[in-house]
Amino acid sequence: MAEPPLLECRDVSKAFGAVQALDHVDFEVHAGEVMALVGDNGAGKSTLIKGIAGIYPFDHGEIYVDGTHVHIHGPRDVAKLGIEIVYQDLALADNLDVVANMFLGRERTRSRVLDEAAMERASRQTLTELSVTTLQSVRQTVSGLSGGQRQSVAVSKAVMWNSRIVILDEPTAALGVAQTRQVLSLVRTLAERGLAVVIISHNLHDVFECADRITVLRLGQRVALLEKSDTTQQEVVHAITAGTLDRVPGMDEAEAAKA
Amino acid sequence: MTDRPMEPAVAPPADHEATEGVFESAGTMTVSEYATRWWHGVKVGELGSLPIVVGLIAIVITFSLLNENFLTERNFTNLLLQMSAIATIAIGIVFVLLIAEIDLSVAYVSAVGGVVMTLLLRPDDPGWPWWLAIGVALLVTTAIGFAQGVVITKAGVPSFVVTLAGLLIWSGVVLILTTEYSTAGTILIQDRTVKGIANDFLSNTAGWILAAIVIVGYAGLQVRAAVARRTRGLDAKPTVLIALQIAGLAIVTFAAVWFANKDRGVPKITVILLVLLVFWSFVATRMRFGRHVYGVGGNPEAARRAGINVDRVRIAVFMISGFMAGVGGIMLASRLSSVATNTGGGNLLLLVIAAAVIGGTSLFGGVGRVVSALLGALVITSIENGMNLLGLGSGEKFVITGLVLLAAVLVDAYAKRRRAARGIV
């Protein structure tokens, strides 16, 4: 791939007290690609995503968007860069309908009055484009939707704002088989539309169904970067549980303590 | 023979079956489609005004069977006078409940509003004009709401505790002010305009004109909304249903005006209440701020991540609560033409919060409408009024009012469980 990755983290580190959550990690995703981010609990997946999301700054390392070095100081900067993050179940207000949720915080108005018709049309258009076809009505409150439908609405919401990079945190964790299939096909649709997609998942079956490449984290380090086409689930599992570490965790402090 | 005109370059939304068969076909829904959707909503816990309308009918039947004076024109205008202040203060409570908070201070904040206005109106001391006295009183109560909101959001203390402290503080302030400026503990209002707020009635003709304005205004809004949606190819309410709703409102409104006109006419205070209801309903449903209120109530974290300044919304809501408490306090002071040491006391707080909850506003946040303040106040005042006619003692009245409130809260909890059961699959 000749062009630079749409999103790239170079050599990022983050420590919480004595715990080195991220230890000189490189991470990248290209436009039109689905990059899976896998690893056991505590491997640093969430820390990496939260750093990109501007929830807290990295201690060390740089972030590049489209080859340009960027500084992220908070969630607002992230949205401006075209990065949208879809969290598991924090994205939607149950009491509002689909349209209101998709426009929450960015409502369209005409002479200070909500322009419901315009918002409804735009929501329908986005949902139709993404082939989200299971909703009965866009005026249904989100509380009445199934888990898969909710996730689809959350993802569509993220896409509607001309985002270029979409990060999905465990999008299929609470879903049944059919709903998982629905969300994964939506993920593929996003990549086909030229977006860079990052999907965090514990479920390797899901990962192999939709990802192009797989980044494996273990104990805060990147232990593997695999092409889906020439790897196997066994190989990924091996990397997750026993991938070779460059540095022994805790070594730096031990050395620092000695010095 | 299908010699169609040129296909537009952009895909037309004409063939809904093909392009957007996933949604209900654009255009007018049939009445049965609409009814089905509404009934589905009820079943999953979106009860709306259904329980309250059922309850109100039950109350009217019960009391008119028990006492012949309940369903008289005299008592009806009395009811309108009694409910206005409660409904007004309850509008503020609806906003507070929508963001899943509570304001226990409203009764005494309303008293502060009434007392401040009354003191500023005292002849020659300082003898301010009515509009200035009212304006300053509302400014004071809004500022109280602001202060309480700031403490709640910035210090992260639950609103329950902050406004409980407020309840004590403002009841103390009322006591201090009324005893300081009077010997008997009662300060009379002399100003004719202020006294007229809750004691004057519209002429019969003015009453009919008001009814016509209400109906034409409602019909105009409904028709405009439906036309706007249809011209943009969105599904709209069926025409028959709109016609039925307008006819229903017309019948209720004209019946009410006719009934009131047989007595003293429509109270002026009812007009003020209607204006407040329309205004705050508009804010809640048609403006960005209102949408944010519902968002914060439904899921504060989602609202925060959507870039909404959650703290600012919260503070604004407590300011609304303070402002509406002030308006209600002025209405109460006007009705008695005085304020006293016990103003804001008694069961005012209970009635106001009960009105909002009985009207269908959820205690869990995010669910409810401004009009529920009116409906709830109607129910709670009817019960009070009916029990007074039956000559029940204070003890019995408290027990029964409490039971009604409990029933309303149970309905709310049940509806919430139904919603939750559908939501988490």
Mapped onto helix, strand or coil, the DSSP state of residue B192 is helix
Contacts of B383 (CB under 8 A, 6+ apart): B59, B400, B401, B404
Binding-face residues of B in 262-291 toward A, CB within 8 A: 286-288, 291
Task: Please indicate, yes or no, if residue A176 is contained in any of the structural domains.
Answer: yes
Sign (positive/negative) of CA torsion A229, A230, A236, A239? negative
For the record, the structure tokens of A79 come out as: 């949205």
| Residue matched to tokens 């919401």 | A157
pLDDT at B417 over 90: no
Task: Please indicate, yes or no, if residue A1 is contained in any of the structural domains.
Answer: no
Q: Does A111 touch chain B (CB under 8 A)?
A: no
What percent of chain A has a predicted confidence (pLDDT) above 70?
Answer: 93
Q: Does A105 touch chain B (CB under 8 A)?
A: yes
pLDDT at B15 over 60: no
pLDDT of residue A42: 84
CATH number at residue A46: 3.40.50.300
**Between A75 and A225, the higher pLDDT residue:** A225
Using a CB-CB distance cutoff of 8 angstroms, which residues of chain A are in contact with residue B293?
A: none
Per-residue model confidence as pLDDT tens digits over A241-256:
887 777 766 665 555 5
Q: Does A186 touch chain B (CB under 8 A)?
A: no
Cβ-nearest to B287 among A93, A113, A133: A113
pLDDT at A75 over 80: no
Are A13 and A62 within 8 A, CB to CB? no
Return the residue in B46, B296, B425 with the most chain A beta carbons within 10 A, the one to mutate for interface testing: B425
Residue A169 Ramachandran class (φ > 0 left, ψ -120 to 50 alpha, else beta):
beta
Contact assignment for B303 to A104 by CB distance below 8 Å: yes
Contact assignment for B288 to A114 by CB distance below 8 Å: yes
Rounded distance, CA B67 to CA B213, Å? 34
Taking all residues of chain B, what is their mean pLDDT, rounded to a whole number?
Answer: 87
Mean pLDDT of B223-246: 83
Picking from B274, B375, B373, B270, the residue whose alpha carbon sits closest to that of residue B325 is: B373
What is the total count of domains within chain A?
Answer: 1
Binding-face residues of A in 145-184 toward B, CB within 8 A: 145-147
Count of C-beta atoms within a 10 Å radius of residue A61? 17
Rounded distance, CA B230 to CA B201, Å? 42
Mean pLDDT of B304-314: 90
SS (H, E, C) A209-222: HHCCEEEEEECCEE
Using a CB-CB distance cutoff of 8 angstroms, which residues of chain B are in contact with residue A145?
A: 423
pLDDT of residue B410: 87
Look up residue A229 and give its DSSP letter.
G
Query: Comparing A27-36, A154-163, B56-65, B169-178, which segment has the lowest mean pLDDT?
Result: A154-163
Contact assignment for A94 to B366 by CB distance below 8 Å: yes
pLDDT of residue A148: 83
pLDDT of residue B245: 87
Give the residue from chain A lying closest to B226, CA to CA.
A117
pLDDT of residue B63: 93
Return the residue in A111, A135, A141 with the most chain B beta carbons within 10 A, the one to mutate for interface testing: A141
Task: Give the DSSP per-residue string, A19-39.
Answer: EEEEEEEEEEE-TT-EEEEEE
Cβ-nearest to A143 among B233, B306, B419: B419
Contact assignment for B423 to A144 by CB distance below 8 Å: yes
pLDDT at B11 over 80: no
pLDDT at A258 over 70: no
Mean pLDDT of B224-244: 82
Angle (nearest 5°) at CA A9 between A213 and A214 = 15
**Burial environment of residue A179 by CB neighbours within 10 A (0 to 12, 13 to 18, 19 or more):** buried
Identity (one letter) of the amino acid at A99?
V
Q: Does A135 touch chain B (CB under 8 A)?
A: yes
Contact assignment for A93 to B37 by CB distance below 8 Å: no
Per-residue model confidence as pLDDT tens digits over B17-58:
333 334 444 455 677 777 787 777 777 666 667 778 888 899
pLDDT of residue A97: 92
Using a CB-CB distance cutoff of 8 angstroms, which residues of chain A are in contact with residue B22?
A: 127-128, 132-135
Instruction: Annotate B17-55 with b (16+ C-beta within 10 A) or e (fewer).
Output: eeebebbbebebbeeeebeeeeeebeebbbbbeebbeeb
Rounded distance, CA A2 to CA A175, Å? 37
For the record, the structure tokens of B264 come out as: 């003293």
Q: Which long-range contacts (CB under 8 A, 24 or more apart) does B5-10 make?
A: none
Identity (one letter) of the amino acid at B213?
I
pLDDT at A140 over 60: yes
Distance from CA of A120 to the nearest CA of B (A): 8
Q: Does A74 touch chain B (CB under 8 A)?
A: no
pLDDT at A198 over 50: yes
Contact assignment for B20 to A124 by CB distance below 8 Å: yes
Contact assignment for A94 to B303 by CB distance below 8 Å: no
Cβ-nearest to B294 among A95, A106, A117: A95
Mean pLDDT of B216-221: 92
Beta bridge partners of A25: A12
Q: Does A95 touch chain B (CB under 8 A)?
A: yes
Distance from CA of A59 to the nearest CA of B (A): 23
Contact assignment for B302 to A90 by CB distance below 8 Å: yes
Mean pLDDT of A158-185: 85
**Between B409 and B371, the higher pLDDT residue:** B371
Contact assignment for B23 to A124 by CB distance below 8 Å: yes
Give the residue from chain A lying closest to B308, CA to CA.
A105
Contact assignment for A136 to B24 by CB distance below 8 Å: yes
Mean pLDDT of B155-179: 95
Query: Comparing A140-144, B326-330, B355-359, B390-394, which segment has the lowest mean pLDDT?
Result: A140-144
For the record, the structure tokens of B38 come out as: 């509404």
pLDDT of residue B3: 41
Contact assignment for B295 to A106 by CB distance below 8 Å: no
Confidence of residue B151 (pLDDT cuts 50, 70, 90): very high
Rounded distance, CA B403 to CA B414, Å? 16
What percent of chain B has a predicted confidence (pLDDT) above 70?
Answer: 90
Give the residue from chain A lying closest to B417, CA to CA.
A143
Instruction: Annotate B220-238 with b (16+ C-beta within 10 A) or e (fewer).
Output: eebeeebeebbeebbbbbb
Picking from A238, A239, A246, A171, the residue whose alpha carbon sits closest to that of residue A209 is: A171
Mean pLDDT of B111-140: 95
Cβ-nearest to B307 among A92, A105, A112: A105
Mean pLDDT of A149-170: 86
Rounded distance, CA A38 to CA B17, Å? 41
Distance from CA of A140 to the nearest CA of B (A): 9
pLDDT of residue A217: 92
**Between A58 and B416, the higher pLDDT residue:** A58
For the record, the structure tokens of A3 come out as: 């062009």
Are B263 and B74 within 8 A, CB to CB? yes
pTM of this prediction? 0.85
User: CA dist B370 to A98, B68, B125, B253, Å?
Assistant: 22, 32, 38, 19
pLDDT of residue B268: 95
Task: Give the DSSP per-residue string, B12-68.
Answer: PS--HHHHSTTSPPSSBPPHHHHHHHHHHHHHTT--TTHHHHHHHHHHHHHHHHH-T
Mean pLDDT of A106-128: 90
How many A/B residue pairs have CB atoms within 8 Å?
108
Contact assignment for B307 to A76 by CB distance below 8 Å: yes
Return the residue in B36, B278, B424 with the most chain A beta carbons within 10 A, the one to mutate for interface testing: B424
Residue A77 belongs to domain spanning: 7-92+162-258
Query: Comparing A219-228, B121-130, B302-311, B415-424, which segment has the lowest mean pLDDT?
Result: B415-424
pLDDT of residue B135: 97
Rounded distance, CA B106 to CA B352, Å? 9
Query: Comparing B40-44, B71-75, B130-134, which segment has the lowest mean pLDDT?
Result: B40-44
Rounded distance, CA B314 to CA B292, Å? 10
What H or E segment, with its residue span, contains residue A158? helix A147-160
Rg (C-alpha) for chain B, rounded Å, is 24
For the record, the structure tokens of A39 come out as: 């690893």
What percent of chain B has a predicted confidence (pLDDT) above 90?
Answer: 66
Picking from A200, A205, A160, A172, the residue whose alpha carbon sits closest to that of residue A89 is: A172
Confidence of residue B228 (pLDDT cuts 50, 70, 90): confident
Q: Does A232 touch chain B (CB under 8 A)?
A: no
| Residue matched to tokens 């040129």 | B6
pLDDT of residue B298: 93
Mean pLDDT of B331-347: 93
User: What is the ipTM metric for this complex?
Assistant: 0.81
For the record, the structure tokens of A163 come out as: 């985002």
SS (H, E, C) B228-265: HHHHCCCCECCHHHHHHHHHHHHHHHHHHHHHHHHCCC
Distance from CA of A174 to the nearest CA of B (A): 8
Mean pLDDT of B103-124: 96
Distance from CA of B390 to the nearest CA of A (A): 41
Contact assignment for B288 to A109 by CB distance below 8 Å: yes
Q: Does A128 touch chain B (CB under 8 A)?
A: yes
Rounded distance, CA B102 to CA B350, Å? 12
Give the residue from chain A lying closest to B296, CA to CA.
A93
